[in-house]
Amino acid sequence: AQSVAQPEDQVNVAEGNPLTVKCTYSVSGNPYLFWYVQYPNRGLQFLLKYITGDNLVKGSYGFEAEFNKSQTSFHLKKPSALVSDSALYFCAVKGGWYGGSQGNLIFGKGTKLSVKP
Amino acid sequence: DSGVTQTPKHLITATGQRVTLRCSPRSGDLSVYWYQQSLDQGLQFLIQYYNGEERAKGNILERFSAQQFPDLHSELNLSSLELGDSALYFCASSPDPGSVYEQYFGPGTRLTVT
């Protein structure tokens, strides 16, 4: 079965420092990986995805993610954090076409990012 | 703004009642997904429709049902509500269920069962 894990419940970073939010995955077949961000009392916003190709994926708001097949990881990164980046971040994998699921997202538990001035 | 709309934003109701949540997908998207977000269960997939037909079911209770109409909007019906059904319910849409497509989420409906 497809699954993702976000090992950190919370990540604290000082403004201007680089940030990393970790995600590991377990899939059968090719992984289709996504990052979403959720601000308080808002819906999920799509940040970026990995489908195939270049292992470094660039997304919205200066975020990027590195796909590492050997480590089954898809960590979210940003070179310089902003206070406004403080939010809940979700890693997700597509359900694929296995076990009857067709395209739904399977989410990690989420990581709360706190960026302090 | 994702282009996905959900109504109502908030819903407060009593145990045993029935409610209907409504979702309109982005223009051109044929696939609609429903998710439930709660503190203890996290974000869980409930059900998926594609062009009016049910495509996949996740952890959806038998008390819950959904449908997608010819104009592609979708409704999620929750009946015999229990306190544990209190959660944020999200609708998402994509052009089709294909793996290359990301899903765009609506703002959610916050359901409180008292």
User: Beta strand A111-116 with A10-14: parallel, antiparallel or unpaired?
Assistant: parallel
Q: Which residue has better confidence, A3 or B21?
A: B21
How far lies B29's CA from each of A62, A79, B3, B102, in Å?
Answer: 27, 34, 10, 11
Mean pLDDT of B14-43: 95
- For the segment B50-104, what is each residue's pLDDT rounded down to a tens digit? 999 998 899 899 999 999 999 999 999 999 999 999 999 999 999 877 767 899 9
CB of B43 closer than 8 Å to CB of A38? no
CA distance A100 to chain B (A): 6
Paired strand residues for A76: A21, A65
Dist. CA A45–CA A59, nearest whole Å: 11
pLDDT in tens, A18-55: 999 999 999 888 888 999 999 987 889 999 999 888 99
Stretch A73-81: mean pLDDT:
97
If DSSP codes are grouped into helix, strand and coil, which group holds residue B17?
Answer: coil
Model pLDDT for residues B44-54, shown as the tens digit of each residue:
999 999 999 99
Amino acid letter, B70: P
Determine which helix (DSSP H) or strand (DSSP E) holds B88, and give its type and residue range.
strand B87-94
Question: How much is the pLDDT for A96?
Answer: 58
**Closest residue of chain B to A31, computed from CA coordinates:** B99
What would the pLDDT profile of A92-108 be if each residue is shown by its tens digit?
998 655 444 467 899 99
Beta strands in A1-117 (DSSP E): 3-5, 10-14, 19-21, 24-26, 33-38, 44-50, 56-58, 64-68, 73-78, 87-94, 105-107, 111-116
A109 neighbourhood in chain B, CB within 8 Å: 42
CB-CB: which of A46, A97, A105 is closest to B45?
A: A105
Q: Which of B105, B82, B96, B86 is nearest to B35 (CA)?
A: B105
| B64: helix, strand or coil | strand
Tally DSSP H helices, then E strands, for chain A. Answer: 0, 12
How far apart CA B38 and CA B41 sit, in angstroms, is: 5
How many degrees, rounded to 5, is the angle at CA A87 between CA B12 and CA B42? 50
The rounded distance, in Å, linking the Cα atoms of B76 and B93 is 14
pLDDT in the model for residue A97: 57
How does the average pLDDT of chain A come out, rounded? Answer: 91
* Residue A105 to residue A93: CA distance in whole angstroms: 6
Residue A7 dihedral angles phi and psi, to the nearest 5°: -70, -15
Per the CB < 8 Å rule, is A46 touching B102? yes
What mean pLDDT is predicted for residues B37-46? 92
> Which residue among A32, A100, A106 places its CB closest to the CB of B99?
A32
